[in-house]
Amino acid sequence: MKFKFWGVRGSIATPGPSTVKYGGNTTCIEIKTNNNDLIILDAGTGIHLLGQQLVDQIPVNAHIFMTHTHWDHIQGLPFFSPIFIPGNKVNIYGGLDPVTNEGIERALNTQLQYSYFPIRESELNAHVLHHTIKPGQTISVGSAEITPILLSHPVLNFGYRIDCDGQSIFFTGDYEPLFNIYERGDSRHDEYQLIVDDKLSEIILAMKDVDALIMDSSYTTEEYISKKGWGHGTYNFSIKHAALANAKKLIFTHHEPTRSDTQLEQIHQEIIKNHSELNCELIIAKEGSEYLLDD
Amino acid sequence: MPDIQHEDLISFVEKMPAFPRSVCRIVKLTSNINVSAQEIIQVIESDPVMTFKILKAINSGFYGLPKKTSSIQYATIHIGLNTIKNLALNIASMGVLNPNNKARFNTDDYLLHSLTTASICRLLAERLNIAQDECSDFYIAGLLHDFGEIVFAEFYPENFKLALEKSTAKNIPLHVTELEFIGMTHSQVVQLLASEWGLAESLVNAINHHHNDDDQDNILNDCVFVANQISTKLHFGFIGDPIVEELPLHIQKRFGLSLDELIHSLGDLSILKTKALAFINGSVSSI
């Protein structure tokens, strides 16, 4: 199994001289199994470039797993060229929105409306299928098995574990680890903490022993103080999860939009220096970088 | 007697609005970007309609819970506070329960009875040294034990009015007259909704037995039964049922006290009524 980053930025695309090295496109990860099955995690602006590459490889049979429906994870979908080409098949997977009771089809049909885009969904030439999936329900794509788990974010968000060819990847999508909303001493603090601890154990179990853990690491610990509750993690949260889950590689992604290449490299150096004891390779996600997982 | 079609009933309840005070609070709270999670949870847990609907959402098969839950706190952890906040706002957007329903069922009195029963139920759980993480289940069971009555008041008001009038005039249990005029008791209607929506079995069981606690070995059922009797006996609201039932022997044995002794031992419970009334009247933001 191999995977490649096509978008690593959080919140909004940030092209420009300060992001040219790590990239400014929003979230999109391509996974290829050894049998060439194509799995795509999220459809941020990065999926546009991936689509351009796939134009030469028709017929395309793509399986796009959406973590959630915030703009930076769906905005590239109308620009994913394979959806316009007859003979292609595009499967889109995602959760049910508890508020609207609508499935993942909303991510595409909301964008493909006259006011926002020149082409309507009914005009797409590819065979586009939507699949509403549930946490814990494993989906098979060729030799890969993809299992969603609910992770904390201001909208319903799935983390995905992908097991294939003897290797495994876990991608969090956007994720802020849970915290206790009650102060110590509040009568409900301990009760709430038990539920928080249970949920963390469930998440660590889902990440257990993965070859590559790809985590939302938007903030530094200092930045997080003023961003608590916004739905994103920190470098240190990610390191804690990787250690508990015994991950082999930890890849920090969803870079904060104002983060420059220079800052990312400084942060990376500090993390490596401060966590030399960690038996896990620490990597900053970079647009265009590709990883081959082997036995 | 009305011809109760289960599908219609379920569809009615899905569109049923919540209580005016909590709708007003949710609209106000959700317009504040810095609203605290505690405040949202408190408002939801003060409204049987919002609580029932949010438990419906969280226990839906789509979220793959390892076990059914009756906890709003668990719901906020599992599907996220922002989602719960938006669910509550969505319920709020359905309008507010009409206090002048055709059944002449006093919704403020109903809410007062539900809130006080909930709080007493939690007190009883604490008295029995129930684990802290389970005490909120006792509160929720107390809050929802008469949910069926508000459903009847909304959807079968004429028949429910007859049941209420006969129950009061003849001093007979309301569930008996409900069977006569509606063909279903307020406990049975909750059981129907709960099984359709996959709510926790323990919660449904407790609601189902709050007038008929014959299970010798179920602490939740016992606490809901007792809390309902205490709230009724102390006239904390009035839900149409004038009968205060004696505690079955197994419950007296569990608490080691009769109903009157138990009420006495719990101290001044009027504070629970005062707090609930203050919430209903809008002078405090939560109970």
Residue B242's domain comprises 107-281
Burial class (CB in 10 A: 0-12, 13-18, 19+), A89: middle
Three-state DSSP class for residue B76 = helix
In angstroms, what separates the C-alpha of B84 from chain A's closest C-alpha?
8
Whole-number pLDDT of residue B281: 83
> Do B79 and A98 count as a contact with CB atoms less than 8 A apart?
yes
Separation between Cα atoms, residue B167 and residue A289, nearest integer Å: 75
Q: Is B114 a member of any domain?
A: yes
Whole-number pLDDT of residue B213: 63
Q: Is B265 on the interface with A (CB under 8 A)?
A: no
Residue A247's domain comprises 2-292
> Which residues fall within 8 angstroms of residue A282, CB to CB, at 6 or more apart?
A239, A250, A252, A268, A271, A272, A275
User: Are A152 and A176 contacting, i.e. CB atoms less than 8 angstroms apart?
Assistant: yes
> How many pairs of residues across A and B have Cβ atoms under 8 Å apart?
74
- Within 170-209 of B, beta carbons closer than 8 Å to A belong to none
Burial class (CB in 10 A: 0-12, 13-18, 19+), B243: middle
Q: Is B101 a member of any domain?
A: no
β pairing state of A28-32 and A38-41? antiparallel
User: Are B173 and B211 contacting, i.e. CB atoms less than 8 angstroms apart?
Assistant: yes
Whole-number pLDDT of residue B133: 79
Closest-CA residue of B relative to A202 is B66
Clarify whether residues B79 and B116 are in a common domain.
Answer: no
Last residue of a domain, one of B92, B126, B153: B92
Last residue of a domain, one of B44, B63, B92: B92
User: Are B163 and B149 contacting, i.e. CB atoms less than 8 angstroms apart?
Assistant: no
Q: Residue A231: its chain B contacts at CB < 8 A?
A: 82
Closest-CA residue of B relative to A101 is B57
Q: Is B64 on the interface with A (CB under 8 A)?
A: yes
Which residue did the predictor score with more confidence, A157 or B239? A157
Burial class (CB in 10 A: 0-12, 13-18, 19+), B113: buried
3-state DSSP helix/strand/coil % of chain B, to nearest 5: 65, 0, 35
Whole-number pLDDT of residue A215: 98
How many helices (DSSP H) and strands (DSSP E) are in chain B? Answer: 17, 0
Q: Residue A98: its chain B contacts at CB < 8 A?
A: 57-58, 60, 62-63, 79, 83, 87
Last residue of a domain, one of B92, B123, B147: B92
Q: What is the CATH number of the domain that holds A263?
A: 3.60.15.10
Q: What is the mean pLDDT of residues A73-101?
A: 95
User: What is the token pair recorded at B51?
Assistant: 């609580």
The edge-to-edge listing of strands for the beta sheet with A281-284 is A139-141, A144-151, A157-164, A167-171, A212-216, A249-253, A281-284
Clarify whether residues B112 and B233 are in a common domain.
Answer: yes
Q: Is B99 a member of any domain?
A: no
Instruction: State the total domains in chain A.
Output: 1
Lowest mean pLDDT among B2-16, B35-49, B217-231: B2-16
Q: What is the mean pLDDT of residues A7-33?
A: 98
Clarify whether residues B29 and B151 are in a common domain.
Answer: no
pLDDT in tens, A233-287: 999 999 999 999 999 999 999 999 999 999 999 999 999 999 999 999 999 999 9
Q: Is B102 a member of any domain?
A: no
Confidence of residue B215 (pLDDT cuts 50, 70, 90): low
Clarify whether residues B35 and B147 are in a common domain.
Answer: no
Instruction: State the total domains in chain B.
Output: 2
DSSP bridge partners of A69 = none
Clarify whether residues B249 and B177 are in a common domain.
Answer: yes
Pick the residue of A156, A195, A227, A232 with the most B CBs within 10 A to test the interface with B by mutation.
A195
Q: What is the pTM of this model?
A: 0.90
